């Protein structure tokens, strides 16, 4: 399996990556400084997605397996319009979270001609697994990821070293909130949501699903993909 350098949870690094690939300059990643009402009010609107970086451990992996068994037994509704990518590249979760964020908001984000638009168009009618393998083989995407991964504030680790952190994206599609994690068996539908409430709805899920099981002792970062143009 190919292994990339891990992407830093840094808006400046992520914005450089997104804009290089064809995302318009008025769409950017922003830090979310807290889960309270005042902190969330600081996030520019409209917000198209939320990306979380969190530490995963054995307890989380056990909960993930239990969740999979429960969903497989009960079933869930997943929008046919959801663009989901399986992860087959080590440390690619940051790039995949960004891809999920843009791909599921192309009705709002008018991509310029470039690497990202070509990749998403090529994978439009593929299965999530085939999209994952498409990313695995895409040297342009790999090089673009590497360029920004070594440009962060912290020293880039050895790609072979285990990185105990993972990125996931939350997006709203067809009035449902989805958790998109390429390591899981499929997207996770967290219930009703809409573009105006995605930020609050996502925070509620994070508090219940990720923070509460760890007794509140979880180190994580949150970022929002938002439009910061003066016209909005």
Q: Which residues are catalytic?
A: 93, 166
d(CA 136, CA 134): 5
d(CA 231, CA 227): 10
**Cβ proximity of 54 and 140 under 8 Å:** no
**Cβ proximity of 29 and 225 under 8 Å:** yes
**Cβ proximity of 8 and 154 under 8 Å:** yes
According to DSSP, the residues that pair with 44 across neighbouring strands are none
According to DSSP, the residues that pair with 144 across neighbouring strands are none
């Amino acid at each position: 399996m190919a292994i990339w350098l891990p992407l830093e949870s840094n808006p400046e690094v992520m914005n450089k990556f997104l804009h290089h690939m064809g995302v318009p300059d008025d769409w950017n990643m922003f830090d979310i400084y807290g889960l309270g009402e005042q902190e969330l009010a600081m996030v520019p609107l409209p917000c198209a997605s939320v990306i979380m970086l969190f530490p995963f451990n054995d307890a989380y992996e056990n909960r993930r397996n239990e969740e999979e068994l429960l969903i497989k037994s009960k079933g869930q509704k997943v929008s046919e319009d959801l663009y989901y990518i399986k992860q087959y590249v080590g440390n690619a979760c940051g790039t995949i979270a960004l891809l999920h964020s843009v791909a599921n908001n192309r009705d709002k984000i008018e991509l310029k001609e470039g690497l990202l638009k070509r990749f998403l168009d090529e994978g439009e009618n593929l299965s999530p697994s085939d999209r994952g393998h498409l990313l695995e083989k895409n040297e342009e995407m790999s090089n673009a990821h590497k360029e920004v991964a070594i440009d962060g504030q912290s020293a880039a680790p050895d790609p072979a070293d285990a990185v105990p952190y993972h990125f996931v994206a939350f997006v709203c599609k067809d009035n449902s909130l989805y958790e998109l994690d390429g390591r899981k068996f499929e997207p996770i539908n967290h219930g009703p949501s809409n573009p105006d409430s995605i930020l609050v709805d996502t925070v509620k899920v994070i508090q219940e699903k990720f923070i509460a099981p760890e007794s509140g002792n979880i180190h994580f970062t949150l970022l929002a993909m938002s439009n910061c143009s003066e016209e909005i």
